[in-house]
Structure 1
Amino acid sequence: MKYLPLRPLVSALILTGASSQAFAVLGLNLSVDIRSLTMGNAVTADPPGISAVHFNPAGLTKLKGLQTDVQGIVANFDIQREFSAPAGYNVFGYSDDPLICNDAPDNPSNLCTSYKDKVNGDVEYASLFVPFLNKTVDLGKGWPVLAPTGGVSYNPPGSKFTYATAAYAPLVAGFGAENGNAGNYMGQQLAIERITYLSPSIAYEVNDQLSIGASIGMSYQAMALKTDLRFPNEMIGVLRMINENVCTPFKGNSNAITDLILFGICNVDEGMNPFGQFGKLEVQMTQSLSPSFNLGLMWEPTDEFGFGLVYQSPAKMRLRGKYMINNANAPRQLISGLNSSATGQILAAILDFPSYIPPTESGLVSMNLEYPEHIQAGIKYKILPDLQVNVDLGWTDYKAWNSFTFEFDRPISALKIAKLLSNNVTNNSLTLPLGFQSPWNWGIGLEYSATDRLKLRAGYEPRTSSIPDDKRNTMIPINNAQLFGLGIGYRFDEDTDIDLSLGFLRSRDNIPANTSTLSNYTGIDNLLLNPYAGLNVKTNTKVTILGLNYRTRW
């Protein structure tokens, strides 16, 4: 019984925080520069035009005179989610989960007699959070995510300094689904984005072989979530058993004695069910200015070989926003029943339980969040006069997301319950342990100069997940991934270049029942979030990116 009010708020905050961070892993560098995509993001030693602001500011010294760079990136997210019941599936003896059970709702048996082979909860459309309007917009089925970017650079005649700024999106991702989708218990609608709208940069050519550079990024960060909530937990199963077996003889004819003995929990019209919906939650948090900086070095001792190094600083943020919860009837009635009995009131007072749970709760929430630091180094080498290979190795400090804390503008009734179960909770704060990892990643790219005007590019980047195996889930539909890129570059004249690029990222994940504490873990200790407890879960994510870049010199 202690677990019950620990429902929408705490669990949805885990969804909000964990999903935003893991989507950063998924979307890293997918919407910054299309030429980089085609080279497996192995461009530290050969940064692409004004996008060197992000990849290696030292590369800006390659740009002479006044240059502008405009590109449009179109990304389509195809996310498939599948659920199935393993042999022996049950939650405290109950297996009639309507999500995967074919039995009629009025079937008196607690055990499912006919399971669905599999249930699909695929993402149905892309979603975007509109900056400053603080509103999430569904783009409709078949509509991709658009990310236009642009920049300008200037190298005064005869000067060793180059100045630049660019607007780009280090991270843009979002998806949504209609009501009734099986995947809605881990996000009916999600939108995550980081937009760098200003990046003043400077690069200095030390000599013909060595350049250094620095940039300051001023970014907008946002995350928004709308989700259904349910808690197929053993303790909820106990309450269903009490309601259906112990309380049945007293329904409609309870008295003071039974109320005292049973703490009033039988005085409800709707009992608890581990497969029932507990509520709906909406959360959004933003920060309008999130500063960071990049430092770069580029060394080219010969025409055939070059080395690049970049350091991207962490960005420490204080996100602020709002939450709103629509509480379902069953948990509200349980707390009301508890407080209808003298013994229940005493128990509630001892445990500091709330006396009432409203149908709707709302308030302000904030959290400290660090966008992690990143270090990457790479080389470029011409193995043939017309064929260049780039290889990069990078590391991102995702361990910075080992845990983070949500803070509220008022005491929250749900947290009053949660603090009895965890040292990470107070009346108005919640610390979430995530245990992210900091893997190394590499990428490789090839560029072939077919003619003086035409260049062909291909790249590959295998991405090792920073998400531990026991934290995988359907809201972050990725574990390990592979990024492939193909591109064509064409020079119309000495001042104008156009690039056409195609990128494809894929990731498949299999989460067997009882293996992830943020998805399908069973047992009495899965106290926070496991909407698919006991079920097998599979995801299949495909991201297709098409981009067009136009660069000109004035």
Structure 2
Amino acid sequence: MSYEIASSVGQAKSTSILRCCLLLGLIFIARPTYASFTDSITIGNPKALSLGHAVTADPPDIDSIHFNPAGLARLKGRQMYVKGIVGVFSTEMEFGEYGEYTQGVHDNYREQYKEYEDGNGNLTHNRSPWEVYAYDEALNSKSESEGGPTIMLPGGMVDLPIGAGGSGGASYNPPGSRFTFGTNVYAPLMNGFSRSETDTGRFAQERVAFTVITYFSPTVAFEISDTLSVGASVNFNYAGMGMELPIREPHIAIFFLGSPFIQKNFCNEDGTVNESNSLTGTAIDLCTEVPPYSQYADLNFEVDNNLVLGYNMGMLWQPAPWLTLGLSYNSAIDVEMDGEFNWPVNDPFKTFLVNFQSSPGWNEIVNGLGALGIQLPTAQQIADQSTGPLTVSYEVPQRWNVGLSLQITPRWKYNLDYRWTEWSAFSDIDLDFGVDVPLLMWGALADQVGTGGRNGISPNKVAYKLGLQDVGYWGMGTEYQYSDRLVLRAGFEDRPSAVPETAPNAFIPMNDAKLISVGFGYDLEEQRHIDFAFGYLLSETHFPPCSAPLGNACNPNDVVYPVYMGQDIKTKVEAMLFELSFQQHF
């Protein structure tokens, strides 16, 4: 047995039974924030996609409202725009073998169980065979998202058969005026997926949707001179979020509660409670079997807000016929969404907690801790189904964009963009459940005892501290004027993760990613124009055993949802995007 395993087992055995049970209660919600790392992917503009989104100095038609509102000044007369996007998305998680720590935990406890086997290899004391008790469905398995994307809309989450959608906008430049006005519909953020009810990755998220849709964006651009333009927009957004999360937590404390030590001191041979155990002198019911890899609870919620405001600003300057410079700003968006949650506790974990909290003397424990300001749930609260109102608050980060566009020759143009996004502002996500939640009441005490409140858990609130970092990254694109009507494009974008290397998160499958793209634009008759683009994005990440504090942590103090404790995890996110737009004067 390694020193790490010996230390962990020693910790568990020297900890009081009450603390072990507190650790059981700390169930923490998996973060869906990977959806936030899809900057500009869901805008749906084919020119921007095909140029690696390097369009701050070369804004694309009506979507200038997002990329650089000053670009709207280039649109003359009255124009309308329709665009469509088809996306094929895949999110995979591959769960491999246990590392040394978790394998050691299994080996150690399996060895202890040998003295309690009968002649058929079954455990006595009303327990299951070890192979049943410690069965982990995720061991050496593969998880894949299924079907089309899941999105949040007014009314709830929707599973689309395919990843497809459409939108559009219009612009107007009065004759002889230096002003241009416009509005556009687009999705700054829209991502989500679903897994089957039996998929082993469901404990990371079975169904999730994260949506921000700009449905009205009144914009004005002004030509200060023939070479300098400015623009600004006010954005009216819908924001929504939904999640279905089955919960398990194979913490070492749960292995300990099922150990021979507990059986000897707290339970009779037939599995009933020892009413005069030698340790406490009173009956404490710890005899309900809770397999460490069983599904303890289910968290389901949907929240949204129909009116969330933001704004964009931009500037375009062409100091020479062959050079254009661009600067734009996308404001932070303060989001507060309201809805409902449902968080039932499942058997056998519910039965275990009810029996434990019905033990003689439990009320005295609750009253004593209550006098210290510590709230613990009653057995009745555990037995009831937890439902109630929920408010989710976070900040969509601000972003600065700077770019240049070089007309190298009459036919060749080169664009380069650099973007900075304040992902650290997205690190704080607050969930206010409106009512005391039994599992959070346990979790708040375990958080205080185990980490000094580091995880931000209270009986009715969770304050996420994701620890994200600000990110700067670049994209580039080139354009070739093949003929008077046809232009060819290609682009590349390097998209680094906002998750620090010092704090990996196995539930954010999209980390460092590369985007490559191609496309074309074609002028039709009667002042009509079409653009098309294809883009391919790939992100692959490896989380060796015990490397991710959220996901496969091994430290006994990391009780924040180590759902795949000590297991090797690999993630892969792929996206193929097909985008088409149509532009017409009217």
How do residues 19-168 of structure 1 correspond to structure 2 at under 5 angstroms?
A: 19=32, 21-90=33-102, 93-94=105-106, 107-108=129-130, 118-134=140-156, 136-139=157-160, 143-168=161-186
**Aligned pairs, number:** 539
Q: What residue is the counterpart of 2:349 in the other structure?
A: 331
SS at match of 2:403: strand
Q: After TM superposition, give the deviation of residue 191 of structure 1 in Å.
A: 1.2
Q: After TM superposition, give the deviation of residue 489 of structure 1 in Å.
A: 0.8
Q: What residue is the counterpart of 1:100 in the other structure?
A: none
Say which of 406, 410, 414 aligns to 1:381: 406
Q: Does 1:480 align with 2:512?
A: yes
SS at match of 1:151: strand
Q: After TM superposition, give the deviation of residue 92 of structure 1 in Å.
A: 7.5
Q: 1:8 to 1:323 in 2, by over 3 A?
A: farther
How do residues 219-298 of structure 1 correspond to structure 2 at under 5 angstroms?
A: 219-241=237-259, 242-244=261-263, 246-251=265-270, 254=273, 256-258=275-277, 261=280, 264-266=283-285, 268=287, 270-298=288-316
Q: After TM superposition, give the deviation of residue 250 of structure 1 in Å.
A: 4.8
Q: 1:297 to 1:263 in 2, by over 3 A?
A: farther
State how far apart, in whole Å, the 2-side matches of 1:255 and 1:469 are: 49
Q: What residue is the counterpart of 1:511 in the other structure?
A: 543
Q: After TM superposition, give the deviation of residue 36 of structure 1 in Å.
A: 0.4
Q: After TM superposition, give the deviation of residue 129 of structure 1 in Å.
A: 3.1
Q: After TM superposition, give the deviation of residue 180 of structure 1 in Å.
A: 1.2
State how far apart, in whole Å, the 1-side matches of 2:561 and 2:136 are: 26
The answer to whether the 8 A contact 1:126-1:175 is kept is yes
Supply the RMSD in Å over aligned alpha carbons: 2.7
Q: Does 1:182 align with 2:200?
A: yes
Q: What residue is the counterpart of 2:457 in the other structure?
A: 425
State how far apart, in whole Å, the 1-side matches of 2:328 and 2:280 are: 68
The answer to whether the 8 A contact 1:42-1:378 is kept is yes
The answer to whether the 8 A contact 2:84-2:581 is kept is yes
TM (norm. structure 1) is: 0.91
Q: Does 1:353 align with 2:371?
A: no
Q: What residue is the counterpart of 1:195 in the other structure?
A: 213
Structure 2 unmatched ranges of 5 or more: 1-17, 110-120, 370-374
The answer to whether the 8 A contact 2:93-2:201 is kept is yes
Q: 1:313 to 1:263 in 2, by over 3 A?
A: farther
Q: 1:29 to 1:122 in 2, by over 3 A?
A: closer
The answer to whether the 8 A contact 1:8-1:278 is kept is no
SS at match of 2:166: strand
Query: What is the letter of the counterpart of residue 150 of structure 1?
Result: G
How do residues 296-445 of structure 1 correspond to structure 2 at under 5 angstroms?
A: 296-351=314-369, 352-356=375-379, 357-420=382-445, 421-422=447-448, 423=453, 424-445=456-477
SS at match of 1:520: coil
Q: Does 1:11 align with 2:28?
A: yes
The answer to whether the 8 A contact 2:265-2:277 is kept is no
The answer to whether the 8 A contact 1:3-1:418 is kept is no
State how far apart, in whole Å, the 2-side matches of 1:158 and 1:521 are: 65
Say which of 437, 457, 461 aligns to 2:493: 461
Q: After TM superposition, give the deviation of residue 427 of structure 1 in Å.
A: 2.9
State how far apart, in whole Å, the 2-side matches of 1:338 and 1:259 are: 18
Q: 1:408 to 1:491 in 2, by over 3 A?
A: same
State how far apart, in whole Å, the 2-side matches of 1:298 and 1:208 are: 11
Q: Does 1:545 align with 2:581?
A: no
The answer to whether the 8 A contact 1:392-1:444 is kept is yes
State how far apart, in whole Å, the 1-side matches of 2:337 and 2:134 are: 44
**Worse overlay, 382-391 or 152-161:** 382-391
Q: 1:364 to 1:10 in 2, by over 3 A?
A: farther
Please list the CA deviations of residues 179-212 of structure 1 after superposition, one character each: whole Å capped at 9, or x if unmatched: 2111000111111111100000000000000000
State how far apart, in whole Å, the 1-side matches of 2:135 and 2:339 are: 45
TM (norm. structure 2) is: 0.86
Structure 1 unmatched ranges of 5 or more: 98-102
SS at match of 2:296: strand
